[in-house]
Amino acid sequence: MTRDSRKSSTIHEIARRAGVSIASVSRALNGKPGIGEALRERILKISRELEYRPSAAARALISGKAAVVGISLGRQEIELRPYYILLYQHLTLALHQHGRVPMFFAHDQFETLSEQAGSAILLGESPDDTRARILTEKSIPWVRVGSAGEGFSLAPDDRYGIELATRYLIDKGRRRLVFLGSELELPYCRHRLAGYQQVMQDAGLAERSISLPFTIESALDAYRELARHLKRYGLDFDGLVCETDELALGAVAALEDHGIVVPDQVAVTGFDDLPALAGSLTTVRQDIALLAREAVALLVEALAGEPPRHMMIPVELVPRETG
């Protein structure tokens, strides 16, 4: 028996036990009008007893775009970055568990989102980001994965995570720490940098940073920039606090290619603890699966008309070989 035939059999069994038509079962399961609340509750109770779970695809066919959640990227160049790939996978899983249908929208596809989706999760903010405003004007509920602001939002505790990493290296005796990040000259890119700056100020140590372009080849960018720095200035630091695991990997490779021993001469920390990348990195772990589940939970609140709020996802330091 195929999966579809099993589902069909279960629906027929629900209808038989409730003494109603298949149409009434469909109305109850999908929140449609046309039946009384007592009957709806009885049908839902029977469906739970039979462990019936309608597929997300089926919900999309029944409910149209109301069941579709648009996952929207704000910048084209981040689509292939490992962090966003992993986050998208976890969002897809969490949405399916809520009976929702995820649909991916690249940066240049956002204008079509309102035509195909009933709600949205926004990734990759920028200063001139107009997506939230557009969705609000069109009365489409949304959640932003990013800094606190208007509407529903959530983010890992970025600043605290970098504070943990910076303080950890100082406690290990490092005094010449450099922060390595992307587009640090832009205000909205400085939330992790701020954590490094605060700890360095508290410790009475000089702050230094290296800013890189924001591209999908961040590890290679870090390698090249650090190689240029070493050639020009020599080894003038004993620790690197990196904004992401990708930057940390590029930095470690550049140091090793210049004969610099990690962590004996230079300690390196990352951020994210991405399974495919972190390996031996001392890094700050954020629970991406939890972030995805909470993003979907906030979206449910947004759909229900609850007051907007911001949620901070906790992080933790994971000491490994590079620190």
Indicate the pTM of the whole model.
0.79
Name the band, by pLDDT with cuts 50, 70 and 90, for residue 1.
very low
Q: In this structure, which CATH number among 1.10.260.40, 2.40.128.50, 3.40.50.360, 3.30.420.40 belongs to the domain 3-54?
A: 1.10.260.40
Name the band, by pLDDT with cuts 50, 70 and 90, for residue 31.
low
For residue range 248-288, what is the model confidence (pLDDT) as tens digits? Answer: 999 999 999 999 999 999 999 999 999 888 989 999 999 99
Comparing 59-73, 127-141, 227-241, 289-303, which segment has the lowest mean pLDDT?
59-73
Report the pLDDT averaged over residues 89-111: 87
Fold (topology level) of 158-286: Rossmann fold (3.40.50)
Instruction: Write the CB contacts of 261 (distance below 8 Å, at least 6 apart in sequence).
Output: none
**pLDDT confidence of residue 254:** 98
Instruction: Provide φ and ψ at 130, rounded to 5°.
Output: -110, 5
**pLDDT confidence of residue 251:** 98
Domain 67-156+287-313 has CATH 3.40.50.11540: no
How many other CB atoms are there within 10 angstroms of residue 282's CB atom?
23
Name the band, by pLDDT with cuts 50, 70 and 90, for residue 76.
low
**pLDDT confidence of residue 217:** 82
For residue range 192-221, what is the model confidence (pLDDT) as tens digits? Answer: 999 999 999 999 999 999 999 877 788 999
Comparing 17-21, 30-34, 226-230, which segment has the lowest mean pLDDT?
30-34
On the question of pLDDT at 170 being above 50, the answer is yes
**pLDDT confidence of residue 5:** 44
Nearest to 207 by CA among 178, 166, 230, 175: 178
- As to burial, measured by CB atoms within 10 angstroms (0-12 exposed, 13-18 middle, 19+ buried), residue 185 is exposed
What residues does CATH 3.40.50.2300 cover in the chain?
A: 67-156+287-313, 158-286
**pLDDT confidence of residue 100:** 85
How many other CB atoms are there within 10 angstroms of residue 103's CB atom?
20
- Specify which of 42-46, 84-88, 98-102 reaches the highest per-range mean pLDDT: 84-88
Comparing 102-116, 258-272, 275-289, 299-313, which segment has the lowest mean pLDDT?
102-116
- Reading the block at residue 220, the tokens are 């290679």
SS (H, E, C) the chain: CCHHHHHHHHHHHHHHHHCCCHHHHHHHHCCCCCCCHHHHHHHHHHHHHCCCCCCHHHHHHHHHHHHEEEEEECCHHHCCCHHHHHHHHHHHHHHHHCCCEEEEECHHHHHHHHHHCCEEEEECCCCCCCHHHHHHHCCCCEEEECCCCCCEEEEECHHHHHHHHHHHHHHCCCCCEEEEEECCCCHHHCHHHHHHHHHHHHHCCCCCEEEECCCCCHHHHHHHHHHHHHHHHCCCCCEEEECCHHHHHHHHHHHHHCCCCCCCCCEEEEEECCCCCCCCCEEEEECHHHHHHHHHHHHHHHHCCCCCCEEEECEEEECCCCC
Measured between its terminal Cα atoms, the distance across the chain in Å is 55
What residues does CATH 1.10.260.40 cover in the chain?
A: 3-54
On the question of pLDDT at 2 being above 50, the answer is no
Nearest to 288 by CA among 320, 235, 321, 245: 245
